[in-house]
Amino acid sequence: MSLTVDTHAGRAGRRMGVFLAFPSSLIVFFIIMIPIVLMFRYSFNDYDPINMMREAFTFENYIKFFSDAYYREVFLSTLKVAAICTALALILGFPVAYFLAKTQTRFKSLLIILLVFPLMVGNVVRAAGWMVVLGHAGAANALMQWLGLIEQPIKLLYTPLAVIIGTTAVVLPYMILTLQSVLEGIDFSVEEAAQNLGANVWTTFWRVLLPIAAPGVAAGTMLVFILCMNAYATPVLLGGSGITMMAPSLYGQIAKASNWPFGSTMALILVVATLVMALGANWLIHRRYVKTMAS
Amino acid sequence: MANVSLINLKKQFGKSLAVSDFSLEIADGELVAFLGPSGCGKTTTLRMIAGFLDPTAGRILIGNDDVTAVPVHKRNTGMVFQRYALFPHMTVAHNVSFGLEMRKVPAAERERRIGLALDMVRLTEFKDRYPRQLSGGQQQRVAIARALAIEPKVFLLDEPLSNLDAKLRLEVREDIRALQQRLGLTTIFVTHDQEEALAISDRMAIMHDGKVQQVGTPQDLYEKPANLFVADFLGKMNFFSGRQAGEGQFQTQEGLQLKVAAVAGDTVTIGVRPERTELSSEPASDNSVPVTLKSCAFLGSHIDVVLTGAGQQRLSCQLSNTAAGSSHQLLQEGARLFMNFKATDCVVFSERGAR
């Protein structure tokens, strides 16, 4: 009898919880969804230079985007930069995360604070810093000249390379922290077991450590890829006219050309492409590594 | 399988000496337990044998090969870890297969050896399960199968039972001993549990502060401890400080005259195991020490009695719970009794106890 009462109370409590959470959930849902829904609607609207946006339902903007070589180029270079930066962040971040997860040093929390510190400085400020480093008379050129690698300063700033360096620097802490939190949970005696069974360091990494770390790699890759695809300040400040990426370009459509329908179309394409790529990568990693552990 | 020689092994971490001057010959097919409190250097020594640590000095021979400089993955030792260290993303069969794949064993032969190894630990029907679908005892048995499938020259176990509950511990322990004897495995078993070491090993090495205190069969170490540390670490012992007072006589600090068969000129401490003593209301046997009963603990098969001797010395007596229970009516708190023991049951030491 008392059991039934308890169950009823539990169920009622749960219902109460749902009821209480409902209003705020609704608000959050709308705050997140309204801009996207509006953009979605705008992307089917018409544009003319005199009347600006006109209510319509046309695929004109999508056709324009994919048939214009310039926008295809913007889209592809965004994908390329994001993919390269994500790969770089993974390759550079993994050893650091591995070190942080394994280290016994008492300076560990200090190291993590140092890692978080760049996140407290805005992207604009950090990009400005890179401008100083990569400029014509900047530190990078000075160093290479001093080392005798080059005779005349080379163009670094306002190139895709500058954007890749700057963006990778921005996303690296996210990658490291995500990987570290997953690596932290690994019992590293599996590495010793693998070596004891005859695996060298390389085989141990590929066949034991990486598969076990796969959930972290998937999470970090997804997060960083999304950040890279949507980067705005870094490509603007470091890419200049040398490379155009999606976020600055669509902002230009909306703010400078006042072409809301086309800007919205670009925004939507960016959102969908990011989602598809991120979820695709996640799915691949999970299928390759994680599924076996969860079955 | 092969014999193992440890020659003057030494390991230093910064300023602290983890293992100092460890020499031991382990015969082919022998099981040697390294026993000691935590931080005594037993695991460090095992890890040096496996190759995870480089010795600061000394040499390690497996068979007739000096493996001191050979990397872990080429040493051909089979190690079982305290926390199983199974590969969570591989099935039981794949875990066992891993070492064979590293050795490029052909697929058909591999299948056969996986089957044999799993059969050995009675886990054949679990071969397609993942480690987390198994109990702790089963996981450790997979780890044993994985280590043995590669037919290692030495079988190394690093506290393999300490993560298991009491019942499983006994079961896996018996499995290990049975396999070790059946296959004639040269085995080194690290543990801090003396009962485990006593039950399983051919010989044991008791370690303390990085030094080997004594090496011998379990019975030797228990009956003839070489020093106070071994005597006190392995089981319990009552100690009396004093000096020789004539042939077969020992005088304690408190002035008690005891008959001790083995007493010699350099004897300054004697000891007697609690289970070799008896309690009575009148003096009996070779030696009778007047004591006051402080407390009793009933432990089923036996009763632990805590006593106070002369000069507030703490003594203990272990009475077996016999059907007769003759002396049990004496067990009243504060009772004045005699603790009796034979002259031949006394062990002598030439070092003074710290207590």
Helix (H, G, I), strand (E, B) or coil at A231: coil
CATH number at residue B205: 3.40.50.300
Picking from A94, A89, A233, the residue whose alpha carbon sits closest to that of residue A168 is A89
Domain boundary pick from B194, B229, B264? B229
pLDDT score of A2: 43
HSE-up of B160 (CA within 13 Å, CB side)?
34
Pick from A189, A196, A293: CB nearest B83: A189
State how many domains chain B has: 2
Would an 8 Å CB–CB cutoff place A198 in contact with chain B?
A: yes
**A chain contacts of residue B75, beta-carbon cutoff 8 Å:** 196
Q: Are residues B171 and B204 in the same domain?
A: yes
Strands (E) in chain A, as ranges, are 46-48, 52-54
Size of interface A-B (CB pairs under 8 A): 72
pLDDT score of B328: 66
Strands B16-26 and B336-341: unpaired
Ranges under pLDDT 50 in chain B? 355
Residue B146 to residue A192, Cβ atoms within 8 A:
no
DSSP label of A286: I
How high is the ipTM of this complex?
0.86
Q: Are residues B290 and B339 in the same domain?
A: yes
* Distance of residue A214 Cα from the nearest chain B Cα, in angstroms: 10
Residue B102 to residue A196, Cβ atoms within 8 A:
no
Distance CA A33, CA B208 (A): 67
Q: Are residues B345 and B259 in the same domain?
A: yes
pLDDT score of B7: 95
Q: Are residues B344 and B211 in the same domain?
A: no
pLDDT score of A1: 40
Would an 8 Å CB–CB cutoff place A190 in contact with chain B?
A: yes
Distance CA A104, CA A110 (A): 13
Q: Are residues B261 and B316 in the same domain?
A: yes
The one-letter amino acid at A154: I
**B355 found inside a domain:** no
Q: Are residues B195 and B221 in the same domain?
A: yes
Nearest CA in chain A to B100: A197
In sequence order, the 6+-apart residues with CB closer than 8 A to the CB of B287 are: B258, B259, B340, B341, B342, B343, B346
Apex B315 CA angle, B310 and B318, nearest 5: 140
Burial class (CB in 10 A: 0-12, 13-18, 19+), B311: exposed
**A chain contacts of residue B99, beta-carbon cutoff 8 Å:** 197-198
**B328 found inside a domain:** yes
- Pick the residue of B67, B80, B97, B98 with the most A CBs within 10 A to test the interface with A by mutation: B98
pLDDT score of B112: 96
Distance CA A46, CA A222 (A): 34
Q: Are residues B129 and B251 in the same domain?
A: no
Residue A293 to residue B88, Cβ atoms within 8 A:
yes
Would an 8 Å CB–CB cutoff place A193 in contact with chain B?
A: yes
Distance CA A55, CA A66 (A): 22
CATH number at residue B296: 2.40.50.100
Residue A197 to residue B83, Cβ atoms within 8 A:
no
Greatest CA separation for chain A? 89
**B65 found inside a domain:** yes
Nearest CA in chain A to B89: A293
Residue B86 to residue A193, Cβ atoms within 8 A:
yes
**B27 found inside a domain:** yes
Burial class (CB in 10 A: 0-12, 13-18, 19+), A51: exposed
Would an 8 Å CB–CB cutoff place A73 in contact with chain B?
A: no
Q: Are residues B142 and B104 in the same domain?
A: yes
Q: What angle do helix axes A260-285 and A69-102 make, rounded to 10 degrees?
A: 40
**pLDDT averaged per 10 residues in sequence order, chain A, 295 residues:** 52 78 88 90 88 86 94 95 96 96 90 90 90 90 90 90 95 95 93 96 94 91 94 92 92 91 94 91 80 47
Nearest CA in chain A to B151: A197
pTM score of the predicted model:
0.83
Residue B98 to residue A200, Cβ atoms within 8 A:
no
- Domains, chain A, with CATH or none: 62-294 (1.10.3720.10)
pLDDT score of A196: 96
**B chain contacts of residue A105, beta-carbon cutoff 8 Å:** none
Q: Chain B residues contacting A, CB < 8 Å?
A: 50, 52, 71-79, 81-83, 85-90, 98-99, 102-103, 130, 132, 143, 146-147, 150
Q: Are residues B249 and B205 in the same domain?
A: no
Strands B287-298 and B336-341: antiparallel
Strands (E) in chain B, as ranges, are 4-13, 16-26, 31-35, 57-62, 65-66, 77-80, 154-158, 187-191, 203-208, 211-216, 238-244, 249-252, 257-259, 269-272, 278-280, 287-298, 302-308, 314-320, 336-341, 347-349
Greatest CA separation for chain B? 76
Domain boundary pick from B174, B206, B229? B229
**B115 found inside a domain:** yes
* Distance of residue A289 Cα from the nearest chain B Cα, in angstroms: 8
pLDDT score of B324: 54
Would an 8 Å CB–CB cutoff place A200 in contact with chain B?
A: yes
Pick from B74, B81, B130: CB nearest A293: B130
pLDDT score of B281: 87
**B chain contacts of residue A185, beta-carbon cutoff 8 Å:** none
pLDDT score of A270: 95
Picking from B61, B25, B19, B53, the residue whose alpha carbon sits closest to that of residue B39 is B19
* Distance of residue A181 Cα from the nearest chain B Cα, in angstroms: 18
**B354 found inside a domain:** no
Domain boundary pick from B229, B254, B272? B229
What does the block give as tokens for B131?
């480690």
* Cβ contact B302:B318 at 8 Å: yes
Q: Are residues B96 and B188 in the same domain?
A: yes
Domain that holds residue B306: 236-349
Q: Are residues B14 and B98 in the same domain?
A: yes
Q: Are residues B273 and B319 in the same domain?
A: yes
**B215 found inside a domain:** yes
Q: What is the mean pLDDT of chain B?
A: 92
